A and B are shown apart, each in its own frame.
Chain A
Amino acid sequence: MKIFFSLLIVMSLAWAGDATIEVIKKADSLPSLAVEDASVDYDNTFKLRFFKSLIADLNVLSLFNVDRHHRMNEYDDSDVLSANKDMNYVLRYKMTKGDADALTLDVKLFTNTQEVFSKRYRVNKKNIYMFISHAIAYDINEFMGEPSVAWMKRKVIFSRIIAPKKSEIVIADYTLSYQHVIIKGGLDIFPKWANKGQTAFYYSSLSSFKPTLKYVDIKTAKVKNIISSDGMMICSDVSNDGKKLLLTMARDGQPDIYMYNVQTRKYKRITTYRGIDVNGQFLGKNKIIFISSRLGYPNVFSKQLDTGVVEQMVYYGKSNSSCSAQGHYIVYAARESSNAFSANTFNLHLISTKTDFIRRLTATGVNEFPRFSKDGDAIIFIKNYKRQSAIGIIRLMHNKNYLFPLKSGKIQSMDW
């Protein structure tokens, strides 16, 4: 009996850490947090804009029940507003105009009327205010001693189609509210960060004679040609150390996955199937996952790099045409209806190579471009629902999805 119980405990502990099994934290049990604005400078429109951004970021932390009322208070007042008296935490901030459009922001956190945290932030231009709001949320999360949300500070790079054969590559914050066009004029697609520090990226250019993979160093603004292939040339994944790339190339019109060594500039063919093999992703040190048409429709497979053994990874969904891997987790998009066209639903699913569980991560609409954060804590994706597009953040361990509406055109590809 004792053995049985200890086994049960061990099993439940082991499962508790697995993100494919739902972890539900009840909203009621989270501590409450209110935000007080003490800004004197700036008009109400901007005050409200910043407030909304901060509330959204604090919500994404999934640590608080965040009060959405925009209330003003004096920054140096030792008491919180009477409306906020019963709150577990009160965050107060004050924005100040600096020289030449600079924005300074002071923030402090109260709990039980005690000030427990304070910090000053500054940006040179007021229109990049969202980076301050992300930084505040990051710091509050650190202060609470929770696992890092460093991905909040990371940048998203994406390409969007603006006209037939015309695209733009854009660098943005994780909510895509700040957007900076970095390449435009041709058909430049499939951008991928080249390293952890996000100081460079790869992209495919279809503007030259042959599809060409290019490398852009953001600091020096230098563009380098890496490799070309007839038909198709895409960088699907970059290894953690940035030294190896998984490419989809089509020598002789045959799309297959190749491993490219950045230092030696040599490549090696990894898949040889006659149909379609694309979207290679590193899974641990000795394995890749990829999308293949081996079954007559797109689905997720893995290949052991030393033995060459190929294994079907997903047994659910009518058409699973994109995936992303992190640690032993795989997220993939699956078409749920069997009719190819009418009212299609594409949902994201999470599987683990260590369990047989499938966890559905989205419920409605067309959900695509899933990408893990570098630490695997969150997944970013695009949701299209009822003619509305939004960028979504899934907090795996908190079982919560957050959506930020998008205004810009159709996104072609995205990396985080």
Chain B
Amino acid sequence: MKSIILSSVVAALLVLSGCSTKEPAVDKKTEEVAAPSVQEVAPVATETVASENANVNASTNELSMSAVESKLPTVYFAFDKYNITAGMQEKIDAAAELGKSGAKSFSVKLEGNCDEWGSDEYNFALGLKRANAVKKALVADGIDASRISMVSYGESNPVCTAHTKECWSQNRRVNFKLLP
């Protein structure tokens, strides 16, 4: 009895100290792009080289990742469903347009989410099917599938935590997260 408890407690502590906490890999990228090296490069590119190319680059750089992301919609779903309604299809079409223009240089991660009903693995799968439905709609709108990745958070990422119908409907959603 004694040794079991001892070892488990000690081992547990060991593991705790052994596990570093990793932040999700999504954040922290914006800085690198806007490095001061621009000043040195700029004189070289000035004169005649290609004003069109320069313009395109400039326009995409103008819209920072977070600015583009804020223009992307949230797609909502009905209870226990992963089909896309007509209203939501319009939102996805608009997002696809943005994906071909302002957000052209980014990849997108589709995050599927669920309400608190139905727990366990089924909910995660449902979140994923929602993300996948949005992915298929984006691909049908001409977005390259290789630019899209997916993840399901099941019920672990609610935007609203009250136990009401309105709240649950806000949580049954797919979010767009841009990746460089």
A residues neighboring B (CB under 8 Å): 121-125, 128, 131-132, 135, 153, 155, 161, 164-165, 167, 171, 180-187, 189-190, 206-211, 216, 218-223, 230-232, 234, 236, 248, 250, 253-255, 275-279, 291, 293, 297-298, 319, 321-322, 340-341, 344, 368-369, 412-413
Q: Which 8 A-B pairs have the closest CB atoms?
A: A185-B21, A253-B132, A221-B18, A255-B125, A278-B121, A221-B14, A321-B122, A221-B15
Residues of B within 8 A of A186 (CB): 21-24
Picked from A155, A161, A220, the residue with its CB within 8 Å of the CB of B8 is: A155
- A8 vs B54: C-alpha distance in the bound complex, in angstroms? 91
Q: Are B21 and A184 in contact (CB under 8 A)?
A: yes
B179 (CB) vs chain A CBs: closest residue = A209
Picked from B12, B121, B126, B135, the residue with its CB within 8 Å of the CB of A218 is: B12
Beyond A128-B9, A206-B151, is A341–B165 a contact (Cβ under 8 Å)?
Answer: yes
- A293 vs B20: C-alpha distance in the bound complex, in angstroms? 38
Which of B66-74, B86-94, B152-160 lines the interface with chain A?
A: B152-160
Residues of B within 8 A of A167 (CB): 156
Chain B residues with a Cβ closer than 8 Å to the other chain, count: 52
The reply on B168 being an interface residue by CB < 8 A is: yes
The reply on B50 being an interface residue by CB < 8 A is: no
- Residues of B93-143 contacting chain A, CB below 8 A: 117-126, 128-129, 131-132, 135
Residues of A within 8 A of B14 (CB): 220-221
Q: Are B122 and A298 in contact (CB under 8 A)?
A: yes
The reply on B149 being an interface residue by CB < 8 A is: yes
Picked from A125, A219, A297, the residue with its CB within 8 Å of the CB of B80 is: A297
Q: Are B9 and A180 in contact (CB under 8 A)?
A: yes
Residues of A within 8 A of B20 (CB): 185
The reply on B34 being an interface residue by CB < 8 A is: no
Picked from A206, A276, A340, the residue with its CB within 8 Å of the CB of B125 is: A276
Beyond A131-B1, A190-B121, A413-B120, is A255–B24 a contact (Cβ under 8 Å)?
Answer: no
Q: Are B19 and A232 in contact (CB under 8 A)?
A: no
- A210 vs B151: C-alpha distance in the bound complex, in angstroms? 8
Q: Are B152 and A236 in contact (CB under 8 A)?
A: no
Q: Are A321 and B22 in contact (CB under 8 A)?
A: no
A214 (CB) vs chain B CBs: closest residue = B19
Residues of B within 8 A of A278 (CB): 120-122, 124-125
The reply on B6 being an interface residue by CB < 8 A is: yes
Beyond A279-B122, A341-B168, A368-B119, is A208–B18 a contact (Cβ under 8 Å)?
Answer: no
Residues of B within 8 A of A253 (CB): 128-129, 131-132, 135, 150
B120 (CB) vs chain A CBs: closest residue = A322
Residues of B within 8 A of A222 (CB): 18
Q: Are A219 and B11 in contact (CB under 8 A)?
A: yes
- A314 vs B120: C-alpha distance in the bound complex, in angstroms? 18
Q: Are B152 and A231 in contact (CB under 8 A)?
A: yes
Residues of A within 8 A of B122 (CB): 276, 278-279, 291, 293, 298, 321-322
- A275 vs B130: C-alpha distance in the bound complex, in angstroms? 11
Beyond A221-B11, A248-B125, A341-B165, is A232–B120 a contact (Cβ under 8 Å)?
Answer: no
Residues of A within 8 A of B123 (CB): 321
- A206 vs B22: C-alpha distance in the bound complex, in angstroms? 10
Beyond A207-B23, A209-B25, is A369–B131 a contact (Cβ under 8 Å)?
Answer: no
Residues of B within 8 A of A232 (CB): 124-125, 128, 151-152
Beyond A185-B21, A207-B24, is A255–B157 a contact (Cβ under 8 Å)?
Answer: no
Of the A-B pairs whose beta carbons lie under 8 Å apart in the complex, a sample of 28, sorted by A's number, is A123-B2, A153-B4, A165-B153, A171-B12, A182-B19, A184-B16, A187-B153, A187-B156, A206-B24, A207-B22, A211-B151, A218-B11, A219-B7, A223-B18, A223-B19, A230-B149, A232-B152, A250-B125, A250-B150, A253-B128, A276-B125, A278-B124, A279-B120, A319-B80, A321-B123, A340-B117, A344-B117, A368-B119
Q: B165 CB to closest chain A CB, in angstroms?
A: 6
- A413 vs B119: C-alpha distance in the bound complex, in angstroms? 9
- A340 vs B17: C-alpha distance in the bound complex, in angstroms? 43
- A220 vs B11: C-alpha distance in the bound complex, in angstroms? 7
- A277 vs B117: C-alpha distance in the bound complex, in angstroms? 18
Picked from A206, A250, A276, A293, the residue with its CB within 8 Å of the CB of B153 is: A206
Residues of B within 8 A of A182 (CB): 12, 15-16, 19
Q: Are B19 and A185 in contact (CB under 8 A)?
A: yes
- A190 vs B122: C-alpha distance in the bound complex, in angstroms? 12
Q: A234 CB to closest chain B CB, in angstroms?
A: 6
Q: A212 CB to closest chain B CB, in angstroms?
A: 11
Beyond A165-B24, A189-B156, A255-B128, is A123–B121 a contact (Cβ under 8 Å)?
Answer: no
A190 (CB) vs chain B CBs: closest residue = B121
Residues of B within 8 A of A165 (CB): 24, 153, 156-157
Residues of B within 8 A of A164 (CB): 156-159
